[in-house]
Amino acid sequence: MQEILINQINQGGMADSKYEGEANSVSKIVGIDLHSEPGLLKANYKLKKDSGSTIDEFCKCIVTSSNGNVYFFSSESGKIWMKNTAGVYSLKYTTTPSTGDSAILGATEYRGELFWATSDYVFKVSVDSADWGTLKTPWEVNTSYSTNDKVYYEAKNYKCISGHTSSDWTDVKAWFYDGEFESGDEVKYWGTPYKALATHTSDEYNTPGRDAPDSWEDDKYFARDKVISHGSNHYACLFSHRSFSDSEPGTGEDWTVFWKEVDKWTDFWEEMEDNVPGEGKDWEDYWEVIDDGYAVQWKEFQTKDSNFHPMAIARNGLYVGDGDVLVQIKPPLGDDDDDDVVFTPAALEIVKEHRIKSLSAIDIQLAIGTYVDNNVNKTTIYRWDTWTYTWNMEDEIDEVGINAFIPVDNYFFVQAGNTGSIYSYDYNMLYLTKRIPGDWDGQKSSRVQPNATAFFKQRPLFGVSKEEGSIASGATPGVYSLATMNPRVYHRVLAIEHVTSTYSEDTIIGAIEVKGDQLYISWKDGAETGIDIIDYENRYEDA
């Protein structure tokens, strides 16, 4: 039998199968460092579990913050864990949205704040906040508040000074046409609170705060507007209209269609003091402004996608996927120094049946990867400049979703579908570059989770693992690289750099994040979950 000599594995990497591959490739490369010193093979540093028993749920989002901490976001509940600068893990906060699921589907840091998303809402908190606190839902009728309760109201945080119920100061009833009111009823009308002095119905046209009818003008009128016309007679508008429609009270054939003569004004209402924070004269009796450091349920999504809210920063804006629309969060136009940001719930709308699964910046533009469902082998990449009314370029491929963008230096690779396809992108079209070797028979499938990518020590890394819900993984689960020491001299080759500390064929890798010379890798293996880091004191003995 002819001898096969392989002496430049760093130029061949992992073969396409155990039977055939590129020159100098081998059947499998697991835990071997091909690139640190060309011509020399080393056992790679192994991974070790770093989170102990603290993190007990699967995390698909990890954020390394500018404050030195690392945050881990549960994909199963609203829990957020933190590893502080001393290396201690703790449960930092539990997200409790007012509606929808609490699982966290996207997270990042932007302009000194942490943003994260549940199915229905965007949450945020300052990275400088030591105590994220627990804010209650504010100003619902008959809500009781206790001393020291905290709420978020009109972009500010408040603390309750003295216990009370919201019926002391919030709308008990709303004014409406033909509504009946009893003496003592409270309403808020046009932002001002009132109390009824006597029993009456609203068709008597004594709306709180509207006790002086305007005189007739050629203007637009709305239902319940009041005017004085023709000898100081009082009229109330029945239906919205414009005055040039020849229905001036008391004139024309159809004026009664729009107007009703009413009794002269009577004073049924008195203005009340209001205790809503920032409003009324005595709100300070109940509330005080506190430091703007507490986590808040900030904005509501339009589409409310239940699986994906990827986040990416491009052109000084934060972008969040929400089904078939893209959310934009950025300072007002022309004012990049503004501390406040504007939330645009649908800055871009893509083809309706597609959902935004992955996002990445590409120079100053944005790349958008979509997914329909596991039964549709069509997916699209969109490129958008972030300001025109529609996308600039698109390319459709026959894959089950664009799962992740794998960062390189000034570009990225795209992992698409559930059978290991890796594509390159030339800003216009996708081209199949590599297929991860594996057993793809039957229902075996693998994917890269949207956040399970990183660029670490000049190596593009991505976590390949069993697709959730599939019977088995087609490819060996692990942290793969598609790397080269010198792209002008050596080929870019595929290898498995690391396997997780509790490796099995059922391992699922949720997210990969870089902090300095350290990797943070979240994983789930059966019922066990955790965070791995590189163990720089030990190498793989069975690489």
Residue matched to tokens 């229902």: 443
- Which position has the higher pLDDT, 220 or 525? 525
The predicted structure's pLDDT at residue 282? 67
User: What's the token pair of residue 3?
Assistant: 């001898």
pLDDT category of residue 405 using cuts at 50, 70 and 90:
very high
Residues 197-204, mean pLDDT to the nearest whole number:
75
The predicted structure's pLDDT at residue 186? 75
Q: What is the residue-averaged pLDDT of the chain? A: 87
**Rounded Cα distance, 251 and 52, in Å:** 83
Residues 129-150, mean pLDDT to the nearest whole number:
79
Percent of the chain with pLDDT over 70: 88
pLDDT category of residue 502 using cuts at 50, 70 and 90:
very high
- Whether 124 shows a pLDDT value over 80: the answer reads yes
Percent of the chain with pLDDT over 90: 55
Phi, psi at residue 285, to the nearest 5°?
Answer: -65, -25
- Whether 5 shows a pLDDT value over 80: the answer reads no
User: What's the token pair of residue 330?
Assistant: 């950025």
Of the ranges 41-50, 443-452, 464-473, which one carries the lowest mean pLDDT score? 464-473
**Rounded Cα distance, 385 and 381, in Å:** 14
pLDDT category of residue 264 using cuts at 50, 70 and 90:
low
- Whether 170 shows a pLDDT value over 60: the answer reads no
Q: What is the DSSP string of 62-80?
A: EEE-TTS-EEEEESSSSEE
Residues contacting 291, CB < 8 A, separation 6+: 129, 157
Determine the length of the chain. 543
Residue matched to tokens 């199968």: 17
User: 167: phi > 0 → left, psi -120 to 50 → alpha, else beta; which?
Assistant: alpha
The CA-based diameter of the chain, rounded to the nearest angstrom, is: 117
**Rounded Cα distance, 376 and 374, in Å:** 6
Tell me, what DSSP letter sits at residue 331?
P
Q: Tell me if 328 sits within 8 A of 347, measured CB to CB.
A: yes
User: What's the token pair of residue 394?
Assistant: 């698109």
Residues 314-323, mean pLDDT to the nearest whole number:
96
Residues 305-310, mean pLDDT to the nearest whole number:
97
- Whether 294 shows a pLDDT value over 80: the answer reads yes
Residue whose C-alpha is closest to residue 416's, from 443, 394, 439, 434? 434
- Which position has the higher pLDDT, 528 or 246? 528
SS3 category, 283: helix
- Whether 15 shows a pLDDT value over 80: the answer reads yes
Q: Tell me if 38 sits within 8 A of 485, measured CB to CB.
A: yes
pLDDT category of residue 371 using cuts at 50, 70 and 90:
very high
Query: How crowded is the C-beta side of 317, counted as CA atoms within 13 Å?
Result: 25
- Whether 265 shows a pLDDT value over 60: the answer reads no
Exposure b/e, 247-264, CB count within 10 A at least 16 = b: bbbeeeeebeebbeebee
pLDDT in tens, 63-80: 999 999 999 999 999 999
pLDDT in tens, 211-225: 567 788 888 887 777
Residues 146-151, mean pLDDT to the nearest whole number:
87
- Which position has the higher pLDDT, 183 or 127? 127
**Rounded Cα distance, 429 and 432, in Å:** 10
The predicted structure's pLDDT at residue 183? 83
Strand segments, DSSP code E, in 120-215 are 121-126, 135-136, 144-145, 150-153, 156-160, 164-165, 180-181, 186-189, 192-196, 200-201, 214-215
**Rounded Cα distance, 398 and 376, in Å:** 9
**The one-letter amino acid at 330:** K
Residues contacting 214, CB < 8 A, separation 6+: 225, 226, 227, 228
SS3 category, 451: strand
Residue matched to tokens 């957020």: 80
User: What's the token pair of residue 512?
Assistant: 């990969």
**The one-letter amino acid at 410:** N
Residues 2-17, mean pLDDT to the nearest whole number:
82
Residues 387-405, mean pLDDT to the nearest whole number:
95
User: What's the token pair of residue 66?
Assistant: 């500018």
Q: What is the DSSP string of 228-259?
A: EETTTEEEEESS-EEGGGT--TT-STTHHHHE
Residues contacting 4, CB < 8 A, separation 6+: none
Residues 163-168, mean pLDDT to the nearest whole number:
70
